[in-house]
Amino acid sequence: MNRKVDVLVDLQFGSTGKGALAGYLSGVKGHDVAVSCNMPNAGHTAYSHVNGQKFVHKVLPSGIFSENLRVIGVGPGAVFSIDRLVEEWAAVKSYLNSINHYYDVVLLVHEACGILLPEHKEAEQKTLSRISSTMQGSAEALVSKIRREVGATAGYRAMEIHERLNQHGPARIVSQREWLESMDSADLILAEGSQGYSLSISAGFYPFCTSRDCTPARVVADCSLPMGWVNAVYGSCRVHPIRVGNTPDGYSGDWYPDQKEIHFSDLGVAAETTTVTGRVRRIATFSVMQIREAMTMAMPTAVFLNFANYDPEEADRVAGEINQAAESIGCGGVLLKGFGPTSWDIKEA
């Protein structure tokens, strides 16, 4: 059996630095295929280790820095605006061409991807501010796809998408059969999830959650990959978890019983803002309850503990808590720590 898929997931409420981890893993492990199943309610930031260029992706995967890279894929569970997809592909191809190595990388977009339209975002802005949603239209676009509405998926817009993408580099809208054939020919695939376990629609924080589950099983399914191919699961978390900031008329949800909300000023650092909404994030103390539950669902091969630079002493304590949980659950513990926003800020624990 081909054990060739590395899955990357978030073990908290999102914004743990999955983009940086994806960039790091792609450079270290040399994946030849990187796939994502993102929706517009999450953004991921990564920096090239070659020239430091910054990439903020809502559609494409962040693990694009492998010297072996030959395919970038957008799986059928994704939702995107065509303009955003084209914008990101143009930037990635410009970068790849500039370093004179990745000239033959191709972008594959699954025909079942959902298409985000302006009316999807408008609908959510009318109804979801009460739960401090990002209100980007993700759920509405997914509903359109579930209803089998004409124009709801990439397959309906294949000619337009193909023409616009190929102005920047080779790209194809592919069927399920073509997708699986391409994935089957890969040596090592990096499958990237978005948001975090505790934002899962089934994780206990409903309605203050996202529109799907955020587990390895869901990521693999949304990238249309066989579960039997999974080689490793990387779980990303923070020393101090965050939640998206509240809207003026809404609330983004509670914390776990064993944690309390604090302020960035308590840590002596500048307040963080979210990639998508620009709101100031909420931040809290570490929750053992949360990490045990998330690790039980994810069974990570290894854990990445990020933002250790905010409080190195607390990071050491939290790493110990995670390793104790990992031992009792029977999964991997802390392998890597992050001390800043880039891949080169990631160190072995």
Q: Is 211 noted as a catalytic residue in this protein?
A: no
Q: Of the candidates 219, 218, 235, 199, which has an alpha carbon nearest to the alpha carbon of residue 73?
A: 219
- DSSP annotation of 136: S
How far CA 122 is from CA of 133, 212, 218, 275, in Å, comes to 13, 20, 27, 20
3-state secondary structure 257-303: CCCCEECHHHHCCCCCECCCCCCECEEECCCHHHHHHHHHHHCCCEE
Residue 216 is which amino acid? P
Q: Of residues 15, 133, 194, 287, which has the active-site annotation?
A: 15
Q: Which residue has the tokens 């020239």?
A: 51
Give the whole-angstrom CA distance, residue 281 versus residue 345.
Answer: 22
* CB neighbour class for 163 (10 Å; exposed up to 12, middle 13-18, buried from 19): exposed
* Alpha helices for the chain (secondary structure H): 18-29, 82-98, 118-127, 138-146, 158-165, 176-184, 216-222, 288-298, 312-329
Give the whole-angstrom CA distance, residue 315 versus residue 309.
Answer: 8
Residues in the chain: 349
* CB neighbour class for 81 (10 Å; exposed up to 12, middle 13-18, buried from 19): buried
Question: Which pair of structure tokens corresponds to residue 149?
Answer: 């509405």
* CB neighbour class for 63 (10 Å; exposed up to 12, middle 13-18, buried from 19): buried
- Residues with catalytic function: 15
